Amino acid sequence: MNCDDIQPLLADLAVGALPEPRQGPVREHLARCESCRMAFGQLCLLGSWLDEIPPTGPARDLWPSIAAALRPRKRTLGQRISGYLGLSPGWAWAGVACACAVLAWGGLRGGDIPRAPELPAVVVAEADEDADLLSRWSAQASLSGGPVGRYAAAAALSVLPESAAEEGLE
At its nearest, how many Å lie between another protein and the CB of residue 86?
Answer: 11
Please identify which residue in 2, 65, 144, 158 interacts with another protein, judged by CB under 8 A: 65
Instruction: Determine if 59 is a binding residue for another protein (CB under 8 A).
Output: yes
Instruction: Determine if 4 is a binding residue for another protein (CB under 8 A).
Output: no
* Cβ atoms of residues 155 and 147 within 8 Å: yes
SS3 3: helix
Instruction: Determine if 111 is a binding residue for another protein (CB under 8 A).
Output: no
CA dist., res. 68 & res. 158, Å (int): 62
Stretch that binds another protein, among 65-73, 108-116, 123-131, 141-149 (CB under 8 A): 65-73
Task: Give residue 154's Cα distance to chain centre.
Answer: 46
CA dist., res. 36 & res. 27, Å (int): 10
Instruction: Determine if 92 is a binding residue for another protein (CB under 8 A).
Output: no
- CB-side exposure of 165: number of CA atoms within 13 Å? 3
At its nearest, how many Å lie between another protein and the CB of residue 100?
Answer: 23
- CB-side exposure of 100: number of CA atoms within 13 Å? 6
Chain positions contacting another protein, by CB under 8 A: 11-12, 14-17, 38-39, 42-43, 45-47, 49-60, 62-63, 65-67, 69-73, 75-76, 79, 82-83, 88
